[in-house]
Structure 1
């Protein structure tokens, strides 16, 4: 087992490993739905809130999915919108909007739409109008079957979010996480709101460190099913997977390069955890640098030229940066004596990580150009931060009221969501990329 014995630091990865133990697992690939949905609780509001009304959509019902309800829930979860009641109004899609009436109700924006059914296919049309400027901002038409209706609603919410805020929405993206139950471990993926969970892998032994390929088609992760840590890559559409790193000692902490052609990994084949790169198929192993102490948890910068990583080379666990080609590492974090699990924002300007302050593990954010730090969460045990692909939110695991949950915070810490499940411990989250 790899630990930072000099400082008492045991990284996120190794704490999970120690808790899980090792042993022969019975792993089974699965693509069926999971039994437990994640429940969402929201607290706080954004610094700016846009007042919007979402009218009921006219036309056919789409079974169990209410398109406007999903849109309302998405916008509410962002903390950046204030929902104005539409009073149960169902407006014809092509109706003339009385801008003044809706503005008088307090709605600067109004979304309306229709759902038409033809056999098993649905056509969803929507419009977004600006009641203040008395103009139409957006319109779109989507088609799909019943199982696709929720995704269509998320896509509409994404369009509304982007048209009003100027930032691409993430409601139609997905998340990955590990669920631990009394029967073992499950690697699951779900919609960003925690709905529609699907099991990618079941195992009696620990699964850790899932990470999405840049195109969202694959997951890399560490599994202990063979009695030791092995890095696998799994194609989500087919459930096919292959081991890409099974060297002597620990194989851990996979991180995809921005173009998906390489991964950075951590190996202890020479006795101490060090960072290597490999091709995405596991070939062409190359050591990045040589350090007398532990280097772990690499993450590529968006330009693909550097790695951000955790090391205790300075006497305590801190975050460093090194060129992918190798060279001298530069220290990045200086606040506090314990900073681990770095993740770089999609624009390369910010860094989130786990910091220990007054005995509590919290999520912190740091501007890479100035070094200014902000604490985003309160602890006591927040771990595994992962940026949303638009950089506006951070997903992480947390212990709240004695329960293991997933949580989301806005990048200013003002808005928080809790995604909890009733029948197990949920952890090791990773937010997936944009896929369309």
Structure 2
């Protein structure tokens, strides 16, 4: 029980070493889809004098390649640089074996304003599949590029692109006992890292609000655990739980009004509670003498999933918040299932699963309870679904360093995101930018 508690409640505090405040995550595709679709993302034209302010096509191509589903043509192999559909000689691109081609141009529209116009074509048929005109200031051109990649990805796969989303994760600088912990938010490709919280005491368990405007997290800055909610745009934060004992594992309800969290009683019992953020009303959800922790809401808010050792080893259970203390076991395959996270469509649950002596990321079919192991590490932790449900991000080890990794839900595409120095831990993928609770 002590080992279980240490791993689930305090494990993220351990094995952390430094990360430069401005270091970016470096993406390495370790395994892509064998039949990745060949596509040409032609450098966008610049409709003005001087150098273009941003390489839009470069970001689009990198996004699509990073998905593992596409194989963008190398620019040095391009025999032409069309910027509009009527300039494309499709026979040339068929010769280069590209299935699709995207062309476009960037035009200045006044002071610090730019418009990007792009078109996507089927090379074999010459059919125009989509095209849009987007605008941005200079600072927002990377985000605009991600949006173009999202449009192309959805057009060709039928799955909404998640390149415009963000991730949050924990890092720490220095070596024990002199460490500085950071909560960082970055673009999904690891670019544009921003420090949200900074402390000489551990930070852990970040959780996105449903609208993506706030993060809940645990801080030990007062020498004891407390849960804070921080608004990203303003930096304003408030302490919402600092009760005696453990305050851990915050999880937002789908409507953004309630946090599920883990608290310990005076007798040391660890249970799941819900906290109404407006009224501060606390409701106990579990009553077993075992360790109940790491809650996660179902997408409709009618269930709370959590892990518990009440059966002798960590397994996933569910409880109806309207009927506390009536928990039902969910996982039965394997001796260790922890850290439940529900897919956006509610059909799968990601867990940390003990696989032949290794802690790995697996998905459990909610209907059939069947288990499929996705990752291949020895100490994989903290799974989190992308908002389109196509990919999971998690924490793992690479040559003794803590890194982040992603794996597609079919296991065919894998990549790592390592900081330029030090370790990173506890990733959580944010919602779509336009999601409303």
TM-score where L is the length of structure 2: 0.92
1:42 maps to what in 2? 29
SS at match of 2:255: coil
Q: 1:244-296 CA deviation, whole Å, 9 max, x = no partner?
A: 11111111100011121111111113431111111234611111131121110
Distance 1:282 1:38, change over 3 A: farther
Matched, 1:190 2:182: no
Asked whether the equivalents of residues 263 and 280 of structure 1 are also in contact (C-alpha less than 8 Å), the reply is: yes
Which structure 1 residue ranges, 5 or more long, are not aligned? 21-32
Q: Equivalents in 1 of 2:272, 2:165: separation in Å?
A: 30
Stretch moving more, 197-206 or 47-56: 47-56
2:123 maps to what in 1? 131
Stretch moving more, 77-86 or 271-280: 77-86
Asked whether the equivalents of residues 254 and 265 of structure 1 are also in contact (C-alpha less than 8 Å), the reply is: yes
2:111 maps to what in 1? 119
SS at match of 1:116: strand
Q: CA deviation at 1:85?
A: 4.0
Matched, 1:209 2:208: no
Asked whether the equivalents of residues 217 and 227 of structure 2 are also in contact (C-alpha less than 8 Å), the reply is: yes
Which structure 2 residue ranges, 5 or more long, are not aligned? none
2:241 maps to what in 1? 245
Asked whether the equivalents of residues 346 and 389 of structure 1 are also in contact (C-alpha less than 8 Å), the reply is: yes
1:306 to 288, 299, 303: 303
Distance 1:115 1:155, change over 3 A: same
SS at match of 2:65: helix
Q: CA deviation at 1:48?
A: 4.8
TM-score where L is the length of structure 1: 0.92
SS at match of 2:394: strand
2:150 maps to what in 1? 158
Stretch moving more, 354-363 or 146-155: 354-363
Q: CA deviation at 1:327?
A: 4.5
Distance 1:8 1:432, change over 3 A: closer
1:12 maps to what in 2? 8
Q: CA RMSD in A?
A: 1.8
Q: Equivalents in 2 of 1:154, 1:318: separation in Å?
A: 38
2:71 maps to what in 1? 82
Q: 1:88-134 CA deviation, whole Å, 9 max, x = no partner?
A: 63213353433343233212211011011233221111111122343
Asked whether the equivalents of residues 287 and 325 of structure 2 are also in contact (C-alpha less than 8 Å), the reply is: no
Q: Equivalents in 2 of 1:197, 1:236: separation in Å?
A: 13
2:386 to 380, 388, 391: 388
SS at match of 2:86: coil
Asked whether the equivalents of residues 12 and 384 of structure 1 are also in contact (C-alpha less than 8 Å), the reply is: no
Matched, 1:426 2:413: no
Q: CA deviation at 1:423?
A: 2.4
1:285 maps to what in 2? 282
Distance 1:88 1:284, change over 3 A: farther
Q: 1:33-67 CA deviation, whole Å, 9 max, x = no partner?
A: 9410111100222265322111110115443x311
1:167 maps to what in 2? 159
Asked whether the equivalents of residues 42 and 83 of structure 2 are also in contact (C-alpha less than 8 Å), the reply is: no
Q: CA deviation at 1:18?
A: 6.4
Aligned residues: 419
